[in-house]
Chains A and B, each alone.
Chain A
Amino acid sequence: DAMVIQNPRYQVTQFGKPVTLSCSQTLNHNVMYWYQQKSSQAPKLLFHYYDKDFNNEADTPDNFQSRRPNTSFCFLDIRSPGLGDAAMYLCATSRDLQGKNIQYFGAGTRLSVL
């Protein structure tokens, strides 16, 4: 059974049209992450939530925002998508345990920008 669920698997949006990607988890993990993965590249961390505390990476563009309304759900908002934002977006979760903070990833949402 899927534990980190990302919807939709494929998303098409228009240049400049806001888009929201969603992630839900059934693991009751307190940490949730968003990564961007462009074609033939490694995943790149955008930001993460530790409980309700939001932590942005220094080089994440302002165009990317996130919301976490409760433990189970986290959203990635792209306010004005550009062609360069076409990528796979991966959500991951972990529980903060000493020495065993394993991240579990969803299958990802592939975003196309037309």
Chain B
Amino acid sequence: EAGVAQSPRYKIIEKRQSVAFWCNPISGHATLYWYQQILGQGPKLLIQFQNNGVVDDSQLPKDRFSAERLKGVDSTLKIQPAKLEDSAVYLCASSLGGASTKSEAFFGQGTRLTVV
């Protein structure tokens, strides 16, 4: 079974520039998450999708971050404009979804963003 695919693996941009990350979840997984992992910390949820609808985006800095999941499969996360404190690894995860208590979340390898 193919895992969660993310691209690019690494990205270096200057502050105030824009950047986009792409995620392809495991086939058949209805729920998709974007997490931000700052160096030395645990992942922090940014946004959760159920199919193509947003379930939770309470911790997404909406003035600069946006995410979409058109057609309920792939997703993109965008930062515009980037700040130095956005330097982190951005992890995408997916799960079967719904209220099932057996729905494990699988993580991709992440995109390491460096803002200079």
Genuine A/B complex = no
Interface of B toward A, CB cutoff 8 Å = none
